[in-house]
A and B are shown apart, each in its own frame.
Chain A
């Protein structure tokens, strides 16, 4: 197949995945009253849940033999193992190690998924975007959280 590089063009591939999980926003560094004031109903002691959508952005050279930045089978199986299986139908607070210490806001969830995806060996990770609901979404890239919601979570 012909070489298909874009010269000074950059190609990114975006892929969306879904999982459902519960969380509770509560910081051990604040009093119960402060937690209730800051997190509102997201501080509900019994927790609550969301259907999360995760968007992974990767970049790299498009292989002329396959036309692909990375084989989707490789990407899907990596995301399945590193993100979906550990998070889907879980309590983020109780079953994901990092959230024993950190508050599982979707900002922090975005950063944690980014951290896990950095180990994907077949392409460069560009960004991770997480939709907590259809109205609240968060995006993390190398330069940090680049967009987010200020609404009640």
Chain B
């Protein structure tokens, strides 16, 4: 089993606000992330694919294919966009790191042509990130 990781960066804006809560509650829970005008981040996305290297190509997954998939599924959808308004997959959800990571997992998993998606790690900043795994998959790629 080999884990292959590809990294991309995108920039997007968002705002944390739950319309079911009062303005005061939103402010209390989300703090400055509730700023009505939104704010943005440079996101870093690490996508890890697990598999055995193909005996002919030596590859777990063709990086050219993976780059194309990341461009189509993530960059075109999210780069220089407002996550609250322009990404239908996030409609009705607070665009937290946790939720965006899960949406990216769901977009990517069916598209991975070789191997299997092992982990999506989305950094909102160098000090805050969310990991998405398939339940039961160990961090090192083995079943746990």
Contacts and interface: CB of A to CB of B under 8 A. Distances in A.
A10 B97 contact: no
Interface in B46-98: 91-98
A9 B134 contact: yes
Chain A interface size band reads 20 to 34
B130 interface: yes
Contact of A16 (B31, B93, B126): B126
Interface residues of B, number: 33
B143 interface: no
A15 B127 contact: yes
Given A1-B18, A1-B92, A68 B128 contact: no
Given A68-B96, A73-B31, A11 B101 contact: yes
Contact of A67 (B21, B95, B129): B95
Q: From B29, B98, B99, B128, name the one whose CB has the most chain A CB atoms within 10 angstroms.
A: B98
Nearest to B91: A2
A62 B93 CA distance: 11
